[in-house]
A and B are shown apart, each in its own frame.
Chain A
Amino acid sequence: MKFAFDKSQVIKFFAYLNKLEKTRLIQRDNKPNSLVFFSKDNNLNIFLENGISGCYFNLGISCSEDNCFSIDSNSFFNSISNFPVDEIQFAYVSDKNSLILGNKKTKVVLETSTLEDAEKSYLDSFIVASEYNELNSKNLYEAITNTVFCTAPEYDEFPYSSLLLFEEDDLFHSVTSDKHRIAIFGNDYSEQKSLLLSKISCDLITSVLGFSEDHEYSFAKNKLFIKWHNGIFFTSCENNTYQSVFQNLVNFFQEAKDIFSVSIPRDELQKSMKFISSISSSHIVKFTFKQNTLNLSAVTSGKGGASDKITLEENVIDFEATYLTSHLIKLLDHVEKNVVFHFKDYNNFSLLVVESKNTKYLIFPMQ
């Protein structure tokens, strides 16, 4: 089987498949050759699935005959991305289990594995969902990127390491929390049908949304499928059996009582916080409001420390609260320029609530 392509046209697809292979959650038993090439009607297709996620592309490249083989994703990607010229010709020699890629000057030989029936595994993995709905890509992208940074690290207790996604009014809404902060995009979660996505799945979804303008989606067999003109992507999701955990998050917003609200210029605040946290190497920042000044100081147990002042446009009440610096800096990356900070009281704890870009954020104070 022979085929040829210009690497600048396809490198994005292969890079994505390589990333997908590397982010596999569960190592399946010695499955090294996982990038599958198969041609149908002399048209070349590739796919990769690792049990948790998978992606298929129709490369739109014609080949000399119909054949199929699999190859190690990493070595294939390294070979083509480091290839000295753009145009590469390929020849698959089935009886030698090798794929030769090159041009007149350079040649690389890669080992391949034979496959019994690539088309069947493609059908079994990717052609599962029968009905697809139109996807509002921008909405799904925002639902994920505005909230996913508030999930807990993977070692933390489930389900706080996941993003809850639900559909309402033809839009996606999401909720995340790592028990120290909360992010709610769109509507509040009550009892809507929902699913849980891991951080890795979220990362893969946001990348896949860049492959086309128009996408369709479907849920089948605990998997989210996203389809576009020349590809299909799927990732596994968990059925949400933690409804009460996510419902309770809304209570903090509802039950907290207003103390005061103030608009603080985002860029100035971010600059100050980065400055004092790097100087003092402290991970806690103390907010002290007095009249029209906000004094930010790094709290350290030993010697040293740093502080900075921001002048506010209005006078506010005298108030003090401490928060985790990294949480605030990450939050400021996601909010608009002149955002209003609401300080609220919840059982004598000062919560910080911020609303921006259709998302509500809450940061718990340091205990």
Chain B
Amino acid sequence: MSRIYIGSINLVKAKLKDEFPNKKLIFVDRTEENSLSFSIFFDTNKIFLHINPNIESLKIIASDIEKQRGTHFLYYEEDNFDGRNSLIQSIKKSGNIFDVSFPLFGDVNNFKRQLNNYLSKKDMLISSDAMTWIVSNPPILRIKSKAANNKKELLAYDLDLLFQEIDKISSYTKTINVEDFSNCLFKSETDVFDFIESIFDKDIDKVLQKYEEMIEAVTDQGLLMILLYQLHFLLVCSDCKEKSIYNSETVTSMLELEDILGKYLGSDYNSVSYTKKSQNPIRVKIEMNKKRDLSSQNISYMIEQVVNTIIDLRDFGNKDYALPFLFYKLVTV
């Protein structure tokens, strides 16, 4: 019988290796080719894990399962598979859906438990300082959830990234201290938002100290784009605050442009195709509860400055002059 796994691919891999130690695990992203090359003389002892298979692939997998051509499991990063498909329905009926998702952000106990399990598997220890640090600075990723028939974006602990770091650390020590996380991959990511916050806090010294590091991590255009995205988010939030709109759901729908998208025809009177950019509702709630000294007019001015700098840089402007100049302008708003 087939199965569906949702969540972390690495956790699925570890789980399957534990459960089927004598079988070879094959990751399949080209189902058709894999099916054509299947041989009962060579492939009966293998588990084929199909990565995010689409409807066409599901048909091929269902036919292979029916003809008893190997063991086939399905893997989806998120629970966004089509429940109407007959293969998925039969897996659902037999209760063979395994959720190996990352713990949701805030579920510290689950996060700690999974981390400790992994460490004990690797025969490693973690100092209490390092545990406190990692709990307050964890790598985070967004996942989509179809819970309660409502597509929502949730924040979860990125255990894959964390376990990769631990694997690296394990090459030179058996006890993890805070310093071991100092150069880890996920630290720089959180720093981008720290950096942007320091602009709003008008901490010019910190901004000038950090901006080169940021450029190295995300490039100058990347940094300006993130800044622009953040400013647009703040503009909508502060505009709502000024208009006394405090309902976070209304703000989220405004951020997601629900009032515009899909409501107008294009110049040729045909409907326009679009992709909805989902917002994290927790982030909206946090921002709506924050008190900022910036009015929507101030933020508009900041956006204008950032756009001008992007134009300058694309027009062969020198980033060594344009960026410090921009940061000085932004902190004086």
Tell me which of A155, A252, A349, A367 contacts B33 (CB under 8 A).
A155
* Residue A180 CB within 8 A of the other chain: yes
Closest Cβ of chain A: how far from B41's Cβ, in Å?
A: 6
- For A152, the chain B residues whose CB sits under 8 A away are 37
A62 CA to B269 CA in the complex, in Å?
71
Taking a contact as CB atoms under 8 Å apart, the answer to whether B33 and A156 are in contact is: yes
Q: Mark B27-46, 1 if CB is under 8 A from A, else 0.
A: 00010010001111111000
Q: Which B residues form the contact surface with A (CB < 8 A)? A: 26, 30, 33, 37-43, 69
- For A180, the chain B residues whose CB sits under 8 A away are 37, 39
Taking a contact as CB atoms under 8 Å apart, the answer to whether A367 and B37 are in contact is: no
How many inter-chain residue pairs (CB < 8 Å) link A and B?
A: 25
Tell me which of A153, A155, A179, A252 contacts B43 (CB under 8 A).
A179
- For B38, the chain A residues whose CB sits under 8 A away are 179
Taking a contact as CB atoms under 8 Å apart, the answer to whether B37 and A157 are in contact is: yes
CB-nearest residue of chain A to B30: A155
Max count, chain B CB within 10 A of own CB: residue among A157, A160, A178, A349: A157
Q: Mark A140-175, 1 if CB is under 8 A from B, else 0.
A: 000000000000110111001000000000000000
What total of chain A residues lie within 8 Å of the partner, measured CB to CB? 13
Taking a contact as CB atoms under 8 Å apart, the answer to whether B39 and A179 are in contact is: yes
- For A252, the chain B residues whose CB sits under 8 A away are 41
Closest Cβ of chain B: how far from A347's Cβ, in Å?
A: 9
Closest Cβ of chain B: how far from A199's Cβ, in Å?
A: 15
A-B contact pairs, 21 of them (CB 8 A): A153-B33, A155-B30, A156-B33, A156-B37, A157-B26, A157-B37, A160-B37, A179-B38, A179-B39, A179-B41, A179-B42, A179-B43, A180-B37, A180-B39, A252-B41, A349-B41, A364-B39, A364-B41, A367-B39, A367-B40, A367-B69
A155 CA to B33 CA in the complex, in Å?
8
- For B37, the chain A residues whose CB sits under 8 A away are 152, 156-157, 160, 178-180
Closest Cβ of chain A: how far from B30's Cβ, in Å?
A: 6
A349 CA to B39 CA in the complex, in Å?
12
- For A179, the chain B residues whose CB sits under 8 A away are 37-39, 41-43
Which residues between 335 and 367 of chain A lie within 8 Å of chain B, taking CB atoms?
Answer: 349, 364, 367
A272 CA to B237 CA in the complex, in Å?
76
